[in-house]
């Protein structure tokens, strides 16, 4: 492992020491609320989690943070600290709206699995013929002497399982130098343009050969649309958000929701955080299955609790228990997953969240094949959004955790340290409760 990855492992493990902090007041932070657990000493136990998040905000490791943790019995921790904008505020609150980016992928995966349950999609069949990029994929083999891409037909068809597990061969420019070169050589628009043409990129390997994080779930979203006959935002509202009571989750924000939105902060070379203006709203050519949603911690925790509780949350069932169990299994066999090499350091660092560990992929998210350094058990499913929003679901320990901030680059060392410390504090709480 590189020195960078070794440092990250040390950063993640440092959470155990910080979680032992007491409840001494530290100036400059704002604490908003915590769920009660009755007269069982829960308040004292939650104070350890508070201390982790408060210290991180006061040390300017993150500008602000909202975090939640829940078991099958309900949410046992929720807290908000810091500000939505370092220069102007206001304070973070439990209803702060975040850009959750690739945490959208789990939602789209659930939508696809609902259609699998209904027999309208098959995991191992070739995907529906909705676009040549899927039905007649080309593999990028390299570039000729003039710099033109060398392409050939893929050796096998793309399946829904390939897309859900990021083994179809699609990538992202920010983590694949050959795709950056291909975009420049062909003049195709970048994925940030919101144009469908940007997603008609070649594969970087044959379907099923290996793992690479990419635009796979954006194609799944389009498959959900074509199969269901509903636009993706409508499908989500009718079959996931509405049943689970996720009233603050969607691709577009109302003026009232935008007033509650946290600003993204860019980590500067000197370690400081520079607040960025709120993004300019625009409507892409299609809703991205792989990103683009806005949400709150309460909303997304309702979704996580549904997956933790075999498909049911808030009295609504979105998946059958056997479907959730299927999603949580390793579907890539001996292939290794989860490591990203950046081409754009301001957007993402090199990512290896668990150096030396075996990482697999289920039908929608990463799987820790071994126990993690901060308490999660083997078989925990997890992923994140590029602005450093993170979640995990530990089926063995029956706990889900969620931490949201708005910091770039993805995998930022200080943001990851806070994540690791929060996770450790959650498991310490469970042991002591």
How many angstroms separate the CA atoms of 400 and 307, rounded? 9
For residue 232, pLDDT beyond 80: yes
pLDDT at 206 over 70: yes
Measured torsion, CA atoms of residues 7, 81, 51, 413, in degrees rounded to the nearest 10: 0
pLDDT bin (cut points 50, 70, 90) of residue 366 is very high
pLDDT cut 70: percent of the chain above it: 90
Q: What is the mean pLDDT of residues 228-245?
A: 98
Catalytic residues: 102, 105, 213
Mean pLDDT of the chain: 91
pLDDT digits (tens, 9 = 90+) for 61-106: 999 999 999 998 999 999 999 999 999 999 999 999 999 999 999 9
Please report which confidence band the pLDDT of residue 211 belongs to, taking 50, 70 and 90 as the band edges: very high
Looking at 3.40.710.10, 2.130.10.10, 3.20.20.140, 3.40.50.740, the CATH number of the domain 3-100+230-432 comes to: 3.40.710.10
Split at pLDDT 50, 70, 90, the class of 45 is: confident
Angle between helices 42-58 and 413-432 (to 10 degrees): 170
pLDDT of residue 326: 98
Q: CA-to-CA distance for 82 and 332, rounded, in angstroms?
A: 40
pLDDT at 125: 98
Alpha-carbon dihedral angle through residues 235, 382, 208, 149, given to the nearest 10 degrees: 80
Q: Is 87 helix (H, G, I), strand (E, B) or coil?
A: coil
Band of pLDDT at residue 351, cut at 50, 70 and 90 = very high
- In the chain, domain spans: 3-100+230-432, 115-227
- E strands, 210-313, are 265-267, 273-275, 293-295, 312-313
Q: How high is the pLDDT of residue 335?
A: 98
Beta bridge partners of 91: 83
């Amino acid at each position: 492992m590189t020195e960078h990855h070794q440092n990250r492992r040390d950063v993640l493990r440092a959470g155990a020491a910080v979680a032992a902090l007491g409840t001494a007041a530290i100036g400059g932070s704002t604490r908003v609320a915590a769920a009660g657990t009755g007269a069982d000493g829960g308040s004292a136990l939650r104070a350890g989690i508070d201390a982790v998040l408060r210290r991180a905000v006061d040390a300017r490791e993150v500008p602000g943070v909202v975090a939640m943790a829940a078991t099958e019995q309900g949410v046992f921790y929720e807290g908000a600290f810091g500000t939505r904008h370092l220069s102007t505020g206001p304070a973070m609150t439990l209803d702060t709206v975040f850009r959750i980016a690739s945490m959208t992928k789990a939602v789209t995966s659930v939508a696809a699995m609902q259609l699998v349950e209904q027999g309208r999609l098959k995991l191992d069949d070739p995907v529906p013929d909705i676009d040549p990029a899927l039905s007649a994929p080309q593999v990028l083999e390299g570039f000729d002497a003039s710099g033109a891409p060398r392409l050939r037909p893929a050796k096998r068809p793309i399946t829904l399982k390939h897309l859900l597990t990021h083994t179809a061969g699609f990538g992202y420019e920010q983590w694949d130098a050959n795709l950056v070169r291909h975009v420049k050589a062909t003049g195709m628009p970048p994925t940030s343009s919101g144009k469908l043409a940007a997603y008609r990129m070649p594969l970087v390997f044959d379907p099923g050969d290996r793992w690479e994080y990419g635009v796979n779930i954006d194609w799944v979203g389009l498959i959900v649309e074509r199969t269901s006959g509903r636009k993706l935002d409508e499908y989500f509202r009718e079959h996931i958000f509405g049943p689970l009571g996720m009233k603050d989750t969607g691709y577009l924000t109302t003026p009232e929701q935008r007033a509650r939105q946290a600003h993204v902060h860019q980590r500067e070379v000197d370690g400081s955080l520079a607040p960025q203006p709120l993004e300019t709203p625009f409507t892409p050519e299609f809703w991205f299955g792989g990103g683009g949603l806005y949400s709150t911690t309460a909303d997304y925790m309702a979704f996580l609790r549904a997956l933790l509780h075999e498909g049911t949350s808030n009295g609504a069932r979105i998946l059958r228990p056997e479907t959730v169990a299927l999603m949580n299994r390793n579907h890539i066999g001996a292939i290794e997953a989860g490591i990203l090499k950046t081409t754009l350091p301001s957007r993402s660092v090199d990512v290896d969240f668990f150096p030396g560990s075996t990482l697999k992929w289920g039908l929608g998210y990463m799987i820790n094949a071994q126990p993690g350094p901060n308490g999660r058990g083997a078989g925990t499913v997890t992923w994140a959004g590029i602005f450093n929003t993170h979640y995990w679901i530990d089926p063995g320990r029956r706990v889900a955790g969620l931490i949201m901030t708005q910091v770039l680059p993805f995998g930022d060392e200080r943001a990851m340290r806070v994540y690791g410390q929060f996770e450790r504090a959650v498991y310490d709480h469970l042991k002591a409760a």
